[in-house]
Amino acid sequence: MRYLPHTQTEIEEMLAATGHRQLDDLFSHIPEACRFQGNIDIPGPLSEWCLTDHFQTLAADTRTNSTRAVLLGAGSYSHHIPATIPYLLQRSEFLTAYTPYQAEMAQGTLQGIFEYQTLAARLMGVDVANASMYDGASALAEALLMALRVARKKQTIAISKAIHPHYRKVVECYLRPGSHKLVELPVAANGRTDLSGLMDIDDLAAVALQSPNFFGVLENLEVASEQIHQTEALFVACFSEPFAYGLLRNPGVAGADIVCGEGQSFGMPQSFGGPGLGMFGCRKKLVRNLPGRVVGETTDLEGKRGYVLTLATREQHIRREKATSNICSNQGICALTAAAYMASLGTTGLTRIAKLNFDKASYLKNGLLEAGATLLFNAPTFNEFVLRFTSDFEPVRQRLLEKGIVAGMKLGHFYKEYEGTYLFCVTETSSKEILDAVIREIKA
CATH of the domain at 271: 3.40.640.10
Cis peptide before 212 (omega within 30 of 0): yes
- Among 297, 322, 342, where does a domain finish? 342
pLDDT at 178: 87
Are 180 and 316 contained in the same domain? yes
Note whether residue 21 is domain-resident.
no
Are 291 and 234 contained in the same domain? yes
Are 93 and 136 contained in the same domain? yes
Are 269 and 368 contained in the same domain? no
pLDDT per residue as tens digits for the range 304-322? 999 988 887 655 566 666 7
CA 101 to CA 93: how far, in whole Å?
15
Cα separation of the two ends of the chain: 51
- Among 307, 342, 377, where does a domain finish? 342
Are 123 and 260 contained in the same domain? yes
Are 237 and 253 contained in the same domain? yes
pTM across the whole model: 0.85
Note whether residue 32 is domain-resident.
no
- Among 342, 374, 406, where does a domain finish? 342
Model confidence at 1, pLDDT cuts 50, 70, 90, reads: very low
Are 329 and 357 contained in the same domain? no
Residue 243, SS3 per DSSP: helix
**Do 354 and 247 touch, CB atoms closer than 8 A?**
yes
Are 123 and 259 contained in the same domain? yes
Range of the domain at 274: 84-342
For the chain, give the mean pLDDT: 91
Are 338 and 365 contained in the same domain? no
Are 249 and 265 contained in the same domain? yes
Are 385 and 333 contained in the same domain? no
Q: How many CB atoms lie within 10 A of CB 181?
A: 16
pLDDT at 318: 62
pLDDT per residue as tens digits for the range 30-62? 998 888 888 888 888 888 889 889 888 888 776
Model confidence at 165, pLDDT cuts 50, 70, 90, reads: very high
Burial 303-327 (b: 16+ CB within 10 A, else e): eeeebbbebbbbeeeeeeeebbbeb
CA 38 to CA 189: how far, in whole Å?
56
Note whether residue 403 is domain-resident.
yes
Number of domains in the chain: 2
Q: How many CB atoms lie within 10 A of CB 261?
A: 35
Nearest to 157 by CA among 208, 229, 226, 230: 208
pLDDT per residue as tens digits for the range 420-430? 999 999 999 99
pLDDT at 320: 64
Q: CATH number of the domain that 416 lies in? A: 3.90.1150.10
Cis peptide before 275 (omega within 30 of 0): yes
Are 328 and 385 contained in the same domain? no
CA 63 to CA 71: how far, in whole Å?
14
pLDDT per residue as tens digits for the range 208-256? 999 999 999 999 999 999 999 999 999 999 999 999 999 999 999 999 9
Secondary structure letter of residue 325 according to DSSP: B
| Phi-psi label, residue 57: left if phi above 0, alpha if psi -120 to 50, beta otherwise | alpha
